Amino acid sequence: MTRARQWVLRRRPSGEPVPADVELVELDVPVAGPGQVLVRNAYLSVDPYMRGRMNAARVYAPPYEIGEPLYGGAVGEVVASEDPRLPVGTCVQHELGWRTHSVVPAGAAVVVDPEQAPLPRYLGVLGMPGLTAWVGLFDIGEVRPGETVWVSAASGAVGSLAGQLARLHGCRVVGSAGGPDKCRYVVEELGFDACVDHRAGDLEGRLREVLPDGLDVYFDNVGGGHLRAALSLANPFARLVECGMISAYNGVVEPVDNLGLIVGRKLTVRGFIVWDSAHRTPVFTRHVARLLREGAVRYDETVVVGIERQLDALVGLLRGSAGRGKVVVDVRDG
Amino acid sequence: MTRARQWVLRRRPSGEPVPADVELVELDVPVAGPGQVLVRNAYLSVDPYMRGRMNAARVYAPPYEIGEPLYGGAVGEVVASEDPRLPVGTCVQHELGWRTHSVVPAGAAVVVDPEQAPLPRYLGVLGMPGLTAWVGLFDIGEVRPGETVWVSAASGAVGSLAGQLARLHGCRVVGSAGGPDKCRYVVEELGFDACVDHRAGDLEGRLREVLPDGLDVYFDNVGGGHLRAALSLANPFARLVECGMISAYNGVVEPVDNLGLIVGRKLTVRGFIVWDSAHRTPVFTRHVARLLREGAVRYDETVVVGIERQLDALVGLLRGSAGRGKVVVDVRDG
């Protein structure tokens, strides 16, 4: 491949992103300068937060800029190196995705071992989504054995691991997901104690059936009506882990009219961004890599082939139609 | 006074309580049984939470029962004793108010010293509202010197102390209150750095002017639009102390449409009920009693005379028209 391709933001989406919001441009393969490496990317990450960064408002990270390339997680192989720490042939994970070739400062690339796990894992269960699940559950939610946990978006990259970790920790774990296929997967393949289909209506009523004793920890990836139901079902001193609110990412905010329960039930509703917990990576990696070796956690990936399909993959993820587990784009052939 | 009077709940209010919801009944002065004392009450407490307990739903405490007496904080003097720990003449604080005479189990009465402070103080700055301010600020909000704090309902029993404690702790403190008189009081008498009138419209815009660097701790007594503004102005890792949501106590819920900021700004929104922090009473009392002796905090009371005015006092408190500081009912003459 003698040319590189990368996605550029052309305008800020209104609601769900459409093809005219972005452009896939072709350019010469870039050259690494001193202290940099050129990475030929193999897999690109697709994450819900990317929609938020397409908006103009800075929340926790700068927004993507109009006319500039998009970026995000990626893994690939160093094909040219101007830094002795990362020789050609090294596999690395970095944050300059949405493109086939990335010039990365050596200090911003993390070496990964393709012998220990297939490369896409470093974008998923052994990468940012895995750390997100681990930090959210243990550091933010302070989950304890014997507690009851509800994980929303339970078939997704973060939720699927959060629920399995909680179950291994000695919790009763209920999931929610969109559609009967995902729910079956969550119970039969991931081993959750129950899973509620949020598309079937009356989310709170259905949850109440499987949570007769309420909930102690809610791992929130959705917000809106899901958050409302969690407040309603929360036991005194429950913790609500605010990992994401995918229901609002396209700009539609569902009202939450029972916030008074935060006072009366003495709840802690706590948001976090995984980048603040990078120092937990060694503990997380030891724990989850061991569980993977032992076959104690199951992890699925949905692989979309071809960089031209990355926007579609993101839209599908936001719609809940993307598939199971972590969504990645295979760009080994461009 | 040879007869006693007490308030009974006749039906559950819809919205703001009206006279027909309750009845002030006259009865014989009750008699203390073994292990009990008869207290002739001097002052009855009026607190926003009392409106919530008139509803049917149990939140953190059982609701008041229809046909049964209301109850709440009170201070008075033991006039008949069937327990050697509390001889006649002892002054006590207890939770069987809304009546002129209370039969109280000796173990449920707390001895107070009328020489150290006037009796109403034990319902206010040295009682439950004072402990609420202290626990909310230090234990729940984990406030640190140098931080910026916003206290809502700043002229009230809890808010007035919370703001002064924060200021003594080395914080910049902004209040909000309803109307120019209260705002002047909060700045000129209580020493807050600024105070915003939430009745003047555009609460968030006015707050932004006095909080150019955002806020690190929000002490919430109001909820609704106030909470929305706090989320909007919160700095990363800010703590929102959910002490009360008086805006919703009469059943009108204002929408909060920016909960997504909890994730992006990594906020902690934490509710609490002061009864869970009774173990902090000794530390709180040492701290605040010393500040009162030194004249370092100012504390006001609004005294309403006559038990027949207690419901009006509660309605006024919920409307924000009750007056400054702690509201108590003087029932020394019935």
Q: What is the pLDDT of residue B267?
A: 98
Q: What is the pLDDT of residue A162?
A: 98
CB–CB contact B266 A268 (8 Å): no
Asked if the model's pLDDT at residue B154 lies above 80, the reply is: yes
Mean pLDDT of B117-123: 94
User: What residues of chain A lie within 8 A of the CB of B276, using their CB?
Assistant: 266
Pairing of strands A22-28, A3-9: antiparallel
Alpha carbon distance B149, B243 (integer Å): 14
Alpha carbon distance B293, B121 (integer Å): 13
User: What residues of chain A lie within 8 A of the CB of B256, using their CB?
Assistant: 256, 259
CB–CB contact A264 B236 (8 Å): no
Residue in chain B lying closest to A246 (CA): B260
Q: How many CB atoms lie within 10 A of CB A334?
A: 12
Query: What is the residue-averaged pLDDT of chain B?
Result: 94
- The single residue listed with the structure tokens 């909470």 is B227
Measured between CB atoms, which of A227, A248, A260 is closest to B245? A260
User: What residues of chain B lie within 8 A of the CB of A242, using their CB?
Assistant: 262-263
Q: Which of B55, B59, B254, B259 best probes binding to A when mutated, by most A CB atoms within 10 angstroms?
A: B259
Q: What is the pLDDT of residue A52?
A: 87
Residue in chain A lying closest to B246 (CA): A260
Q: What is the pLDDT of residue A214?
A: 98
User: What residues of chain A lie within 8 A of the CB of B273, using their CB?
Assistant: 263-264, 266
User: What residues of chain B lie within 8 A of the CB of A270, using their CB?
Assistant: 262, 267-270
Alpha carbon distance A72, A124 (integer Å): 13
Mean pLDDT of B312-317: 94
Per-residue confidence band for A250, with pLDDT thresholds at 50, 70 and 90: low
- The single residue listed with the structure tokens 């009328």 is B114
CB–CB contact B60 A264 (8 Å): yes
Q: Is B271 on the interface with A (CB under 8 A)?
A: yes
CB–CB contact A271 B267 (8 Å): yes
User: What residues of chain A lie within 8 A of the CB of B274, using their CB?
Assistant: none
* Burial status of residue A112 (CB atoms within 10 A of its CB: 0-12, 13-18, 19 or more): buried
Q: Is B259 on the interface with A (CB under 8 A)?
A: yes
Binding-face residues of B in 52-81 toward A, CB within 8 A:
52, 59-60
Per-residue confidence band for B9, with pLDDT thresholds at 50, 70 and 90: very high
Q: Which of B53, B240, B263 best probes binding to A when mutated, by most A CB atoms within 10 angstroms?
A: B263
Q: Is A242 on the interface with B (CB under 8 A)?
A: yes
| pLDDT tens profile B222-234 | 999 999 999 999 9
User: What residues of chain A lie within 8 A of the CB of B259, using their CB?
Assistant: 223, 227, 245, 256
Mean pLDDT of A166-195: 97
Asked if the model's pLDDT at residue A251 lies above 80, the reply is: no
B3-123+300-330 has which CATH code? 3.90.180.10
User: What residues of chain A lie within 8 A of the CB of B248, using their CB?
Assistant: 260
Dihedral sign, CA of A29, A30, A36, A42? negative
Residue in chain A lying closest to B276 (CA): A266
CB–CB contact B257 A257 (8 Å): no
Q: Which of A240, A250, A259 best probes binding to B when mutated, by most B CB atoms within 10 angstroms?
A: A259
Residue in chain B lying closest to A250 (CA): B260
CB–CB contact B60 A267 (8 Å): no
The model's pTM is 0.90
Asked if the model's pLDDT at residue A320 lies above 90, the reply is: no
Asked if the model's pLDDT at residue B92 lies above 80, the reply is: yes
Dihedral sign, CA of A190, A196, A200, A201? negative
Q: Which fold has domain A3-124+300-330?
A: Quinone Oxidoreductase; Chain A, domain 1 (3.90.180)
Per-residue confidence band for A137, with pLDDT thresholds at 50, 70 and 90: very high
Query: What is the residue-averaged pLDDT of chain A?
Result: 94
Asked if the model's pLDDT at residue B324 lies above 90, the reply is: no
Alpha carbon distance B288, B161 (integer Å): 9
ipTM over 0.90: no
Q: CATH 3.90.180.10 spans which residues of chain A?
A: 3-124+300-330
Residue in chain A lying closest to B222 (CA): A260
What is the DSSP secondary-structure string of B17-53? --GGGEEEEEEEPP---TTEEEEEEEEEEE-THHHHH
CATH superfamily, domain at B128-275: NAD(P)-binding Rossmann-like Domain (3.40.50.720)
Asked if the model's pLDDT at residue A268 lies above 80, the reply is: yes
Per-residue confidence band for B250, with pLDDT thresholds at 50, 70 and 90: low
Dihedral sign, CA of B78, B80, B83, B85? positive
Tokens of B206: 């006015």
Q: What is the pLDDT of residue B1?
A: 59
Better-scored residue on pLDDT, A320 or A95: A95
User: What residues of chain B lie within 8 A of the CB of A265, using their CB?
Assistant: 59-60, 271
Q: Is A227 on the interface with B (CB under 8 A)?
A: yes
Q: CATH 3.90.180.10 spans which residues of chain B?
A: 3-123+300-330
Q: Is B20 on the interface with A (CB under 8 A)?
A: no
Q: Is B276 on the interface with A (CB under 8 A)?
A: yes
Mean pLDDT of B128-142: 97
| pLDDT tens profile B49-81 | 899 899 988 766 789 999 999 999 999 999 999
E strands, chain B, in order: 3-9, 22-28, 36-46, 74-81, 91-94, 101-105, 110-111, 148-151, 172-177, 194-197, 215-220, 234-242, 268-271, 301-305, 326-330
Measured between CB atoms, which of B223, B243, B260 is closest to A248? B260
CB–CB contact A242 B255 (8 Å): no
Mean pLDDT of A270-296: 94
Measure B264 CA to nearest chain A CA, in Å: 5
Q: How many CB atoms lie within 10 A of CB A135?
A: 24
Per-residue confidence band for A334, with pLDDT thresholds at 50, 70 and 90: confident
Per-residue confidence band for B169, with pLDDT thresholds at 50, 70 and 90: very high
CB–CB contact B263 A253 (8 Å): no
Measure B267 CA to nearest chain A CA, in Å: 5
Measured between CB atoms, which of B245, B263, B272 is closest to A243? B263
Mean pLDDT of B269-291: 95
Tokens of A8: 């550029």
Q: CATH 3.40.50.720 spans which residues of chain A?
A: 128-275
Angle at A199 between CA A256 and CA A183, to 5 degrees: 115
Mean pLDDT of A87-108: 97
- The single residue listed with the structure tokens 């069987």 is B96
Alpha carbon distance A39, A108 (integer Å): 12
Measured between CB atoms, which of A257, A263, A269 is closest to B244? A263
Q: Is B119 on the interface with A (CB under 8 A)?
A: no
